[in-house]
Chains A and B, each alone.
Chain A
């Protein structure tokens, strides 16, 4: 039930059965635990070859000038300084990503919470509605992105323009207007993600014992007070989980950016780069321009940003927790 447990790797590390006697020659130990190691082997091998080893390589590349053909040339932290100091496109990508993450995470969670509170019972109506809200999380693929592309089409027969005209507006070229790029991405994220958050919140809310609410009602607490003083604090572990995982996911957005504004293979990022976020930029640098060293540096900056944001979020929630006591 708690996040504490896993936040602490020491306590999280395998408790298992009582430790076996440590003595004995290594060959004996190998004999004894041979099968155990053999069981770990397939995973460990793939994990090392396709995860750990690439991480090391990626870090090395981030310190080099490398186009994938000639041998990498060591340049120290030049890629990073270029990214952080000079690269306007990268700054734009970061700024766009931050706007997108803030908007989509806040709206997704707020809507998910509202949906969970409104439709948390086992009644037929609630179950049907929950299924509807959850549907986009199941079918979140390229297919749905194509539908969105059509919705936001320039032509008068696009759905977006039909709705706008219905309310008395003019046809708009949604995908050509820099100002609406991030709102479009945010809308898609909320549409796709709110149901997922809702499912987690419903589970969390229904795990709260009824007695607490009954007691509070007897004591004359209003519904609003019950929400603030019972639901929200007891929901905090789930809330923290949803905030952190959806933030991490939002930072990694790629497919909608790549597909929605796609006109030719070598252009990524929409009008005036208004939809350019970090991962599409990484893709552009790495696989359109073959600046693999530079792209690796972008990947590590992405890691650093996500890592720092997660730390801050954990810190903030911890502060809140102490404040409650």
Chain B
């Protein structure tokens, strides 16, 4: 089966039945618990959103309210800071860090973009070399790469921490970015995808005298677009949510990414309920981009996941 047909199989492609089907009430009744589950899925998100806009007294109301009665932006920015009942909003915390919360958002964004772009570029180069050239040794390289996928990354965690600190890269963007660039899974996925593309194009280009680099840039990369889109989503999401690695190598607040910033709010939750609203506001700000991203690229998301399942 070709990649094309599989990709389209990814999204539901069954044609709707031409005549209007009668509602099957038994089946609908059986679906009822699943509708409830949809509600359960949405509640934490709803809770996060409304809590971000509640005032401190309302946050502690018992029973809790499901719609903010007196919506306020205090958890983001409290103009009355210093008065009784005021909270230090998301954008007011970390005043020792230039930019505060925005700095963390920038860090997350910048690291995510860099890692995604570079890791996809180097993986696509490697995948091209492994599938479309006859260079000796490519088989052993490929087998090594797929074997490495069996080993959980935590195994290399401690040596990588030591290596990063030996190289003087702890507490730096370089330390965030460089150790995570070689992603075996991406190479594997791109190799699988490239295999389903005929070699003729590459041969023809070689006969015409195109260099390998040019073939990669002008022929392979455009052909790989759907696969690259799918992988970009995986890599970017993983990086956006990356927590354990910065937890180990980052010490100064300036270099926090969003998960690190949220984690530091997490510690203050227990001590003061008022900061719960702040934590929710920050969570909302950190989660929203992923949701927007998802709605923008929904097709690619679903296709990518379906492809990963079917190709693997």
Interface residues of A (CB under 8 A from B): 1, 3, 6, 9, 12-20, 22, 29, 33, 35-37, 39-40, 42-44, 46-47, 49-55, 57-58, 61, 68, 111, 114-115, 118-123, 126, 129, 131-136, 138-151, 155-157, 159, 162, 165, 191, 195-196, 199-200, 202-204, 206-207, 210, 237-238, 241-242, 248, 251-252, 254-255, 259, 262-263, 279, 282-283, 286-287, 292, 295-296, 299-300, 302-303, 306-307, 310
Chain B residues, CB < 8 A from A36: 129, 133, 135, 212
Is B216 among interface residues, defined by CB-CB distance under 8 A?
A: yes
**Complex CA–CA separation, A203 to B291 (angstroms):** 22
**Complex CA–CA separation, A171 to B104 (angstroms):** 37
18 residue pairs of the A-B complex, CB under 8 angstroms, read A1-B310, A13-B139, A14-B138, A37-B129, A37-B135, A49-B163, A57-B163, A121-B16, A122-B13, A141-B290, A146-B280, A147-B283, A195-B41, A207-B9, A248-B152, A279-B154, A299-B158, A307-B150
Is B76 among interface residues, defined by CB-CB distance under 8 A?
A: no
**How many inter-chain residue pairs (CB < 8 Å) link A and B?**
328
Evaluate contact between B129 and A39: CB separation under 8 angstroms: yes
Shortest CB–CB separation between residue B21 and chain A, in angstroms?
10
**Given contacts A54-B159, A262-B267, A132 and B154 within 8 Å (CB-CB):** no
Evaluate contact between B64 and A157: CB separation under 8 angstroms: yes
Beyond A122-B11, A299-B155, A306-B150, 14 additional contacts (C-beta under 8 Å) are: A12-B146, A16-B132, A33-B134, A35-B212, A40-B129, A134-B294, A134-B302, A141-B241, A147-B45, A162-B62, A162-B64, A196-B305, A296-B158, A296-B159
Evaluate contact between B45 and A150: CB separation under 8 angstroms: no
Task: Flag the segment in B77-85, B93-101, B221-229, B257-265 that touches A.
Answer: B257-265
**Given contacts A55-B151, A138-B290, A286-B158, A199 and B306 within 8 Å (CB-CB):** yes
- Grouping DSSP codes into helix (H, G, I), strand (E, B) and loop, the A interface class, with mixed when no group exceeds half, is helix
**Complex CA–CA separation, A61 to B161 (angstroms):** 13
Most buried by A among B34, B59, B267: B34
B13-50 vs A, Cβ < 8 Å mask (1 yes, 0 no)? 11010000000000000110011011011111101100
Shortest CB–CB separation between residue A163 and chain B, in angstroms?
10
Evaluate contact between A299 and B154: CB separation under 8 angstroms: yes
- Chain A: which residue is nearest B125 at the CB level? A39
Name B122's contact: one of A42, A131, A242, A254 (CB within 8 Å): A42
Evaluate contact between B47 and A17: CB separation under 8 angstroms: no
- Place the interface of chain B in its size category: 35 or more
Quick one: which of B187-224 are within 8 Å of A by CB?
187, 191-192, 195, 199, 202-203, 211-213, 216
Name B12's contact: one of A120, A147, A282 (CB within 8 Å): A120
Name A1's contact: one of B6, B37, B276 (CB within 8 Å): B6
- Chain B: which residue is nearest A30 at the CB level? B135
Evaluate contact between A143 and B178: CB separation under 8 angstroms: no
Chain A residues, CB < 8 A from B237: 138
Name A302's contact: one of B155, B158, B267 (CB within 8 Å): B155
Shortest CB–CB separation between residue A172 and chain B, in angstroms?
15
Evaluate contact between A46 and B157: CB separation under 8 angstroms: no
**Complex CA–CA separation, A149 to B276 (angstroms):** 10
- Chain A: which residue is nearest B192 at the CB level? A6
**Given contacts A138-B301, A146-B266, A210 and B306 within 8 Å (CB-CB):** no
Chain B residues, CB < 8 A from A191: 40-41, 44
Name A142's contact: one of B139, B163, B262 (CB within 8 Å): B262
Chain A residues, CB < 8 A from B125: 39-40, 42-43
- Chain A: which residue is nearest B165 at the CB level? A68
**Complex CA–CA separation, A205 to B147 (angstroms):** 30
Is B230 among interface residues, defined by CB-CB distance under 8 A?
A: no
- Chain B: which residue is nearest A45 at the CB level? B182
Shortest CB–CB separation between residue B129 and chain A, in angstroms?
5
Is B298 among interface residues, defined by CB-CB distance under 8 A?
A: yes
Evaluate contact between A143 and B287: CB separation under 8 angstroms: yes
Name B148's contact: one of A20, A51, A136, A299 (CB within 8 Å): A51
Evaluate contact between B151 and A303: CB separation under 8 angstroms: yes
Chain A residues, CB < 8 A from B10: 203
**Complex CA–CA separation, A157 to B274 (angstroms):** 12
